[in-house]
Amino acid sequence: MQFTELNLAPALLKAIADKGYTSPSPIQEQAIPGILAGRDLMAAAQTGTGKTAGFTLPLLQLLSDGSKVQPNQARALILTPTRELAAQVAQSVADYSKYLPLKSTVVFGGVKINPQMMALRRGVDILVATPGRLLDLYQQNAVRFTQLEVLVLDEADRMLDMGFINDIKKIIALLPKKRQNLLFSATFSADIRKLAKGLVFDPLEVSVSPENSTAERVEQCVYPVDKGRKAALLTQLVLDNNWQQVLIFTRTKHQANKLSTHLGNVGINAAAIHGNKSQNARTKALADFKKGSIRALVATDIAARGLDIDQLPQVVNYELPNVAEDYVHRIGRTGRAGAAGHAISLVCADESKELAGIERLIKQSLPRETVPGFEPVNKVPTLPVNTKPYKPKKPKQKKFGPAGTARSNQSISKTRTN
């Protein structure tokens, strides 16, 4: 199938051609006709499947035929869990709408709120937002939803994992009852279906990948190594293989900072990206990584979802995630859009339980490779894969203050930071 067969407007087809695309991905092929027909949608799609264009293109077409937006109003609202994903979705909207007379903007925490209030003053056709900052703007009368026609929840499962359910419910209560609803999630978990029950009406369900599957074109392997030698092994792998672009995941912000400093000290340009970094620092680090001025981006799981990095060849799990599902999202950064990729995990004996959980989830044993000179003293066992049905871990619930705002180990300010 070609994009020309999807009944998209010439202005959209021109923007698609500018990006070099001719054929829709499976999620786009299934979702676009349903959205154009006005159906509510539930779509299960891993990152890297083209889902952003899958809702952006038909959304732009629907809005291009509608009425003019009024001051401080938004005709479509796209909610995302993280600032990085919000920025990327907003860029996608800008790219595909460049030949249309539509206005869009993005709002998120970590930056000054006044410019965002100014951008909303004349109204926008599409507003991309993180939940906390959107509620701040609503409370300051900067945005209203009388004209809202479409709500998109992107990475809905991640929003639940991050404790945004109360904010999402507050936002939905502010919206007109009559609207089109589009819900995108990596999986249709029980919690997602519970959320969808009060959100979508007679939805078209689309699924383009098995639940919790790992990308078919990602070559995965485990390097057993003692905990204290991980940094040295990582350094050797980067230098010996001449990796020019590698995304590295750690569990904690402290470890991300520590590892980034270590890599810089051995001559590998690196930067860390996590929740304690300012938004400007996070944006700059990601931009530098994309353009190749830094070789290694060290990230916590805030970067596991939604980061759109074309042709990323290497992902390294410096530490395995506590939750097995996050492994799937981490390695989903590579092997995107048909490209091959490599996902390497540096695993010490203390992480045997996490490794077993990952192998049970993906229903396969990951191959082990030992690097000469880094043979572990404490062995990482190779166990038969547990074939019992996998039960996802419930994320730890965040404590909520009197205003319903999530409290974390980060400093709490009067203005939300998401």
Residue 274 CB contacts under 8 Å (≥ 6 apart), including other chains: 253, 256, 257, 299, 300, 302, 303
Q: Reply yes or no on whether the pLDDT at 54 is more than 70.
A: yes
User: For residue 89, what pLDDT is reported?
Assistant: 93
Q: State whether residue 401 is helix, strand or coil.
A: coil
pLDDT digits (tens, 9 = 90+) for 380-401: 887 777 666 555 555 444 443 4
Above pLDDT 90, what percent of the chain? 58
User: For residue 391, what pLDDT is reported?
Assistant: 57
Q: Reply yes or no on whether the pLDDT at 254 is more than 80.
A: yes
Picking from 343, 350, 383, 348, the residue whose alpha carbon sits closest to that of residue 365 is 383
Query: At how many degrees (to 10) do helices 83-96 and 279-291 cross?
Result: 60
Q: How far apart are CA 78 and CA 154, in angstroms?
A: 7
Picking from 394, 329, 383, 328, the residue whose alpha carbon sits closest to that of residue 358 is 328
DSSP bridge partners of 126: 76, 104
The whole-number average pLDDT for the span 10-33 is: 93
Question: Which amino acid makes up residue 179?
Answer: R
Phi then psi dihedrals of residue 413, to 5 deg: -115, 170
Q: How far apart are CA 304 and CA 306, in angstroms?
A: 7
User: For residue 196, what pLDDT is reported?
Assistant: 86
- Which residue is associated with the tokens 């191959």? 367
Instruction: Name the DSSP letter for residue 13.
Output: H
Q: What is the mean pLDDT of the chain?
A: 85
Q: Is the dihedral of CA 184, 187, 191, 194 positive or negative?
A: positive
Q: How far apart are CA 119 and CA 131, in angstroms?
A: 17
Q: Reply yes or no on whether the pLDDT at 100 is more than 90.
A: yes
Q: Reply yes or no on whether the pLDDT at 210 is more than 60.
A: no
User: For residue 369, what pLDDT is reported?
Assistant: 92
Number of residues that this document lists for the chain: 418
Instruction: Calculate the alpha carbon distances from 329 to 48, 113, 155, 247, 249 in Å.
Output: 10, 31, 11, 13, 11
- Which residue is associated with the tokens 């690097």? 371
pLDDT digits (tens, 9 = 90+) for 255-291: 999 999 999 999 999 999 887 888 788 888 888 998 8
Burial class (CB in 10 A: 0-12, 13-18, 19+), 382: middle
- Which residue is associated with the tokens 């205003």? 403
- Which residue is associated with the tokens 């930067």? 271
Q: How far apart are CA 200 and CA 215, in angstroms?
A: 29
The whole-number average pLDDT for the span 161-168 is: 86
User: For residue 108, what pLDDT is reported?
Assistant: 93
Q: Reply yes or no on whether the pLDDT at 149 is more than 60.
A: yes
User: For residue 266, what pLDDT is reported?
Assistant: 95
User: For residue 125, what pLDDT is reported?
Assistant: 97
Tokens of 203: 């939805």
User: For residue 42, what pLDDT is reported?
Assistant: 93
C-beta separation of 295 from 244 below 8 A:
yes
Q: How far apart are CA 204 and CA 183, in angstroms?
A: 10
Tokens of 151: 């709500």
∠ CA 310-314-315, rounded to 5°: 100
The pLDDT-based confidence of 406 (bands split at 50, 70, 90) is very low
Residue 353 CB contacts under 8 Å (≥ 6 apart), including other chains: none
C-beta separation of 160 from 193 below 8 A:
no
Picking from 128, 127, 97, 101, the residue whose alpha carbon sits closest to that of residue 16 is 97
Instruction: Calculate the alpha carbon distances from 371 to 199, 224, 226, 341 in Å.
Output: 51, 8, 12, 20
DSSP bridge partners of 124: 74
pLDDT digits (tens, 9 = 90+) for 243-252: 999 999 999 9
Q: Reply yes or no on whether the pLDDT at 33 is more than 70.
A: yes
C-beta separation of 85 from 186 below 8 A:
no
Q: How far apart are CA 49 and CA 26, in angstroms?
A: 8
C-beta separation of 418 from 275 below 8 A:
no
pTM: 0.67
Q: Reply yes or no on whether the pLDDT at 99 is more than 80.
A: yes
Q: State whether residue 322 is helix, strand or coil.
A: coil
